[in-house]
Structure 1
């Protein structure tokens, strides 16, 4: 009987002392999983597509233009009603900074952009399908003389060439594409 009491007492001591230690260990493991998941959830903006997504999350609307300057992306977003215009900087870590915000735009100036069937993001995908590489810039081309509207997308390939693609605003078809190498030679 003494032996059973001693074993029970020893088991109680282990549970009493070990319980908080186990709980603390479990809590630390949960915290580590939470921190790791949170760190993994932080969006980066190393590509044009990621920069566009970060900008639109910060200021919902339609991307009008996007270009890379070093490690920073400059993104212009027009609100869906055409009255707002945000000039944003998106850092490589996904941080978005408002450089300029205008809420008194003339919606008529942006009606064609807002009505375009092909978004900047879709134009980037079309350009990359035609010319693999990395998108360096995309911009809405609004010909004020009544000409066709289109997206101009600059793609830089791994071989050092830069491709300037025109993407149709209604179909997403790459309608024109010019290549320039970094040494200034034109390859049309």
Structure 2
């Protein structure tokens, strides 16, 4: 009779102590199978997020950014106008520096560095004119007139090109590059 009590007491203690551990191990093993079977999560970064991440890594002014698959290529001009960095921002927001130059032409970057409308504001203006997702933005002053060129992939699947004034933020020209013949080329 004493032996039965000891065995029963030992079994109760074992179940009390090991029961939760065994249950936790079973849950952990089941969760491990679930996690392994789940697809990898992507935290796709938007153009705005890529610009913010790049500027956090290399303070200055975004000169251009464009998307290549899940990677953003971002060119940043330093606040002094001399420095320049070519950065890549991954889908998770990680920044990798591809190239850095510290002896650029400050006079050539003066208009960009002093522009009232930044790349971020130009993206916002373009999205107000054509809702969707920005896929590229670029500073252009080749023809003597500075402007931002912003490419937006609309919710309808069409790609819109917008020209944004660097002083006012007004979308001065926009049109579709979808090949559907809906390129209005007019002011919005």
TM-score, scaled relative to structure 2 = 0.73
Structure 2: give runs of 5+ residues left out of the alignment. 1-42, 184-188
**Equivalents in 2 of 1:186, 1:170: separation in Å?**
31
| Greater share of helix | 1
**Deviation, structure 1 residue 158:** 2.0
8 Å contact from structure 1 (residues 51, 90) kept in 2 = yes
Task: After TM superposition, give the deviation of residue 149 of structure 1 in Å.
Answer: 0.5
**Count of residue pairs brought into register by the alignment:** 141
Query: CA 1:159/1:168 → structure 2, altered by over 3 Å: closer, same or farther?
Result: same
Separation in 1, partners of 2:123, 2:46: 11
- Quote the offset at 1:45 in angstroms: 5.5
Q: Residue 79 and residue 56 in structure 1: after superposition, are their counterparts in 2 closer, same or farther (change >3 A)?
A: same
Q: Distance in 2 between matches of 1:162 and 1:134?
A: 9
CA drift at 1:187 = 1.5
Structure 2 distance, partners of 1:82, 1:45, is 30
Do structure 1's residue 138 and structure 2's residue 137 form an aligned pair? yes
In structure 1, the partner of 2:60 is 61
Deviations 1:14-33 (A, max 9, x none): xxxxxxxxxxxxxxxxxxxx
Deviating above 2 A after TM superposition, structure 1's stretches of 4 or more consecutive aligned residues are: none
User: What is the deviation of 1:159?
Assistant: 1.4
Aligned-partner Cα distance in 2 for 1:102–1:127 = 30
Q: Is the 8 A contact 1:62 1:79 kept in 2?
A: yes
Find the residue that maps to 1:109 and give its secondary structure: coil
Cα RMSD (Å) of the superposition? 1.1
TM-score, normalised relative to structure 1: 0.73
The SS at the match of 1:122 is helix
Structure 1 residue aligned with 2:112: 113
Residue matched to 2:40: none
Q: Deviations over 1:127-156 (max 9, x none)?
A: 00000000000000112x43x210000000
Give 2:175's aligned residue.
Answer: 178
Alignment counterpart, residue 164 of structure 1, candidates 139, 158, 161: 161
